């Protein structure tokens, strides 16, 4: 399916001249050493309010997206630590990367339906640290 942006005459009539209603280009984060020391990265996803395609964008693009036309979510993505949560009996000692990231996506999916179909690899960018 091909989508077309609103033509310039209609944009001007509706006073949309300053809005870009197209989905931005997809962005894939590239964690650096500092991110691994912190243990997580910030990720950003957007979708048009009336459209189902989900796009991951950079933080700079995310800030510029108009929430009148797009649903947008910023979230933490754990990239270091134990893979699976550690417990002492029923007491959580450390939340694992997999459980943390899965919970993030479950919460995002409540806002942007279909996020769980896009973010399936809960260990994406994971790096074991000492």
Query: In this structure, are residues 76 and 40 in contact, taking their beta carbons and an 8 Å threshold?
Result: yes
Rounded distance between C-alpha atoms, residue 108 and residue 43, angstroms: 11
Q: Which pLDDT does position 14 carry in this prediction?
A: 52
- Paired tokens of 67: 């929430």
Write down the pTM of the prediction.
0.79
Q: Return the closest-CA partner of residue 126 out of 91, 83, 90, 88.
A: 83
pLDDT digits (tens, 9 = 90+) for 33-46: 999 999 999 999 99
pLDDT digits (tens, 9 = 90+) for 61-90: 999 988 888 899 999 999 999 999 898 999
């Amino acid at each position: 399916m091909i989508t077309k942006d609103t033509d310039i005459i209609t944009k001007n009539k509706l006073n949309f001249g300053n809005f870009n209603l197209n989905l931005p280009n997809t962005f894939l984060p590239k964690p650096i050493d500092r991110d691994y020391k912190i243990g997580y990265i910030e990720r950003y996803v957007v979708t048009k309010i009336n459209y189902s395609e989900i796009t991951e964008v950079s933080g700079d693009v995310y800030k510029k997206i108009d929430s009148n036309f797009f649903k947008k979510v910023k979230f933490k993505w754990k990239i270091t630590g134990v893979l699976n949560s550690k417990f002492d009996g029923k007491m959580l000692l450390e939340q694992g990367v997999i459980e943390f990231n899965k919970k993030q996506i479950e919460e995002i999916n409540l806002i942007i339906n279909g996020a769980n179909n896009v973010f399936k690899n809960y260990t994406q960018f994971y790096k074991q640290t000492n």
